[in-house]
Amino acid sequence: RFADLGIFLIPRDDMPYDRKAEVYLFSNGDIEKARGVYQEALENIRPDILINQRSYIEILARDYQKALDIEKARTGGFLRKADIYRYLGQPEQAATYYDSARVEQEELVRIDRDDYVAHSNLGIAYAGLGRREEAIREGKLAVEILPLSRDAYYGPHFILDLARIYAMLGEQDAAVDQLELLLSIPSEITVPLLRLDPVWDPLREHPRFQALMAG
């Protein structure tokens, strides 16, 4: 209801559409309704503003080619494109984009050593390139720079990224440790969303992850 009110009041702003789509995804994993929200948004907002959201919906739907087609409309988005190529089983293409992301994020970290977003993204890029120690270091550093005690709203996102890094590197227990923490505190991380996202596919057979998904 509040998201609909936001759309009514500021129909050319993507934020209320994001909140409405998140309600569908976080509460029960309803991809079709979330996709419909962004179809509605396209009536009022330029497609280039919605690329990230729309490609993510298609990733959750496991329509990776459609996600890639959406992503091709922008020049950046290196991590997203790398992930899509990885899901498509094209490791060489994925590595190319992970490396582009590495270059981009290393420069951002050079400019600002406290840029927790860049550290987290750099950790993901390193993980995609198989650079284990560097990936974990950067993921942990992002969490240290913006801990839950400092920011209870945005902090969980970087714990989630650290879990993602661990999952990409095959560190299943460490990944599940982070997810257990996230599901024990107020955050936007929900079981329905974890069930959908292919980034957690390496954990699907892990007993503790299965227990989380059954919750």
User: Residues 65-94: pLDDT tens digits?
Assistant: 999 999 999 999 999 999 999 999 999 999
The answer to whether residues 95 and 65 belong to one domain is no
**Of the residues 19, 44, 74, the one at which a domain ends:** 74
Residue 82 lies in a domain: no
Has residue 176 been placed in a domain?
Answer: yes
Number of compact structural domains in the chain: 2
Q: Is residue 168 part of a domain?
A: yes
Query: Each residue of 112-171: pLDDT tens digit?
Result: 999 999 999 999 999 999 999 999 999 999 999 999 999 999 999 999 999 999 999 999
Question: Is the domain of 101 the same as that of 198?
Answer: yes
Q: Tell me: do 60 and 103 sit in the same domain.
A: no
Q: Tell the burial category of 121 from Cβ atoms under 10 Å away from its Cβ (0-12, 13-18, 19+).
A: buried
Kindly report each contact of residues 5-13 with a partner whose C-beta sits within 8 Å and lies 24 or more positions away, as own/partner: 7/40, 11/44, 12/44, 12/45, 13/45
Look up residue 56 and give its DSSP letter.
H
133 and 194 housed in the same domain: yes
> What letter would DSSP give residue 212?
H
Range of the domain at 4: 1-74
Predicted local distance difference test score (pLDDT) of residue 23: 94
Residue 81 lies in a domain: no
Asked if residue 128 is part of any domain, the answer here is: yes
Asked whether residue 149 falls in the same domain as residue 95, the answer is yes
Contacts 24+ apart (CB under 8 A), 56-63: 56/80, 57/21, 57/31, 59/83, 59/84, 59/87, 59/197, 59/198, 60/25, 60/29, 60/31, 60/34, 60/196, 60/197, 60/198, 61/31, 61/35, 62/87, 62/198
